[in-house]
Amino acid sequence: MSIPPPPRPVRWLLAAGYPFIGAVVTALALVVVPLGVLLWPIDRRLRVARVMMLLLIAMWEDIGIVVGCWWLWLRALVRGREHWVEDHEALILAALDHAMTAAGRLIGFHVELDHELDWGDEGEPLVVLSRHAGPADSLALAWLLTGRARRVPRIVLADALLWDPGTALVLERLSSYFVPSASGAGDDRSRGVAELAASLGPRDAMLIFPEGRNWTIHRQQDLVTRLRAKGETERAAEAERWRHVLPPRPKGVVTILTTQPRCDVMVVAHTGLEVFSSPREVWRAIPFRSRLLVSARTYQRQDIPHDPAGIEHWLDERWDGVNAWVDSHRAGDY
């Protein structure tokens, strides 16, 4: 069941109280981290201490984003918004850099590129379609887009993430789109995607996960069963053949590419962490011994169809390639 977003007054209270929450959690961490170290005879990997320290760092980076956004708003009242986007982009990049560095040192979360990536025409926006699997893949891709590509991330996210004050504040200011939950009666979930696509500027990168949710082997198998029960035998056969991806949902991609036909499109495959399909498996694997290996291919806009049927067929072909790449590069069985 999807989590509904908080009402805006609740979001204001969360943002205002965030530093005080951080102080309380920090005080708690001063007890938990030493206790986690003392548990070494039982927990030889020091998971409790590692995770608590990482959560503490991530929380203060998030608090830093909230405070930075307040400061930029106050400064804009005096100096104007000449560098508004660049300043918020710098906030995101600094927080992601610090968080990724801490994740590498504390829990072994590392990102490796399979090859040098083509980030598309620098004078035009980029659409990024990615596989969604494993813990923190969206964080890693946002970090790559911001740090490596020097693009402004414009992300399609679940609106449950509005509970995170830092994410909500900075990404709303950068005009990302928080997709309404399916339970929201009357919500046109593609309207916001179209508006975001229409607003893309030359340095923007619009990141979307066409599968709609994180891949796990159980979800893939359940989907095959549901498709067969609904009589969609052809789609069920495809879903069964694609053992490492969920069939892409074309509506969002069709909306983006028909609204914004001048974009190059990057299709991202990655592997290494999808074997951790539950919080328990993630916990047991800390610190990780495998890296997130990322590969991508960028398609020029003139090579991409722009009619809905053509886009759907093109997307399925790309996802077939993503599945094949994961099959040939994955590190473990599932």
For the chain, the straight-line distance linking the first and the last C-alpha, in angstroms and rounded, comes to 25
Tokens representing 23?
Answer: 């102080």
Are 298 and 266 in contact by the 8 Å Cβ rule? The answer is yes
Per-residue pLDDT of the chain (334 residues; tens, 9 = 90+): 467 888 889 999 999 999 999 999 999 999 999 998 998 888 889 999 999 999 999 999 999 999 999 999 999 998 888 889 889 989 999 999 999 999 999 999 999 999 999 998 888 899 999 999 887 888 899 999 988 898 888 888 778 888 999 988 998 888 888 877 654 444 466 788 888 888 888 889 999 999 988 898 888 889 999 999 988 888 899 889 999 999 999 999 999 999 988 899 999 999 998 877 778 888 988 999 889 999 999 999 999 998 999 999 999 999 999 999 999 988 666 5
For residue 165, cis peptide bond before it (omega within 30 degrees of 0): no
Neighbours of 315 (CB within 10 A): 23
Q: Domain segments of the chain: what residues?
A: 8-329
Are 323 and 245 in contact by the 8 Å Cβ rule? The answer is yes
- Residue 263 and residue 281: Cα distance in Å, rounded? 38
Q: What is the pTM of this model?
A: 0.88
Q: Which residues contact 132 (CB under 8 A, 6 or more apart)?
A: 138, 209, 211, 212, 213, 214, 215
Closest CA to 326 of 286, 300, 292, 278: 292
- Residue 174 and residue 84: Cα distance in Å, rounded? 9
- Residue 133 and residue 18: Cα distance in Å, rounded? 30
